[in-house]
Amino acid sequence: MQRRSFITLLAGAASWPSAARAQQKAMPVIGYLNSNSLATTAPLVAAFRKGLADLGYTEGQNLAIEFRWAEGHYDRLPELAADLAARKVDVIVATTGVPSVRAAKAATASIPIVFDAGADPVALGLVASLARPGGNVTGIAFMTAGLTPKRLELLSELVPRAKVIGLLVNPKNPQTEGIVRDAQEAARAIGVELQILNAGTEAEIDSAFAALTQSHAGGLIAGADPFFNARRERLIALAARGGVPTIYQYREFATEGGLISYGPNIAAVYRRVGSYAGRILKGEKPADLPVQRPATFELVINLKTAKALGLTVPQVLLARADEVIE
- pLDDT tens figures, 7-17: 444 444 444 44
Band (22; pLDDT cuts 50, 70, 90): very low
Strand partners, 198: 169
Q: Could you tell me which of 265, 266, 280, 267 has the C-alpha nearest to residue 92?
A: 280
Q: What is the pLDDT of residues 36-45, one digit of tens each?
A: 888 888 999 9
Alpha helices for 159-286 (secondary structure H): 176-190, 202-214, 226-229, 232-242, 251-255, 266-281
| Residue 100 clears pLDDT 90, i.e. is over it | yes
Tally of CA atoms within 13 A in the half-sphere of 103 that contains its CB:
30
Task: Sort 303 into a burial class: Cβ within 10 Å, 0-12 / 13-18 / 19+.
Answer: middle
Q: What is the pLDDT of residue 154?
A: 97
More confident residue, 171 or 40: 171
Band (21; pLDDT cuts 50, 70, 90): very low
Write down the mean pLDDT value for the chain. Answer: 90
Q: Which residues make Cβ contacts (< 8 Å) with residue 8, sequence separation at least 6? A: none
Q: What is the pLDDT of residue 8?
A: 43
Q: Which residues make Cβ contacts (< 8 Å) with residue 223, sequence separation at least 6? A: 148, 167, 168, 169, 170, 176, 179
pTM summary value: 0.81
Q: Could you tell me which of 267, 285, 32 has the C-alpha nearest to residue 137?
A: 285
The number of beta carbons lying within 10 Å of the beta carbon of residue 81 is 27
Q: What is the spatial distance between Cα 250 and Cα 217, in angstroms, rounded to a whole number?
A: 22
| Residue 75 clears pLDDT 60, i.e. is over it | yes
CB distance 128 to 134 below 8 Å: yes
Mean pLDDT, rounded, for 16-34: 67
Q: Could you tell me which of 244, 204, 245 has the C-alpha nearest to residue 228?
A: 204
Q: What is the DSSP letter of 292?
A: B
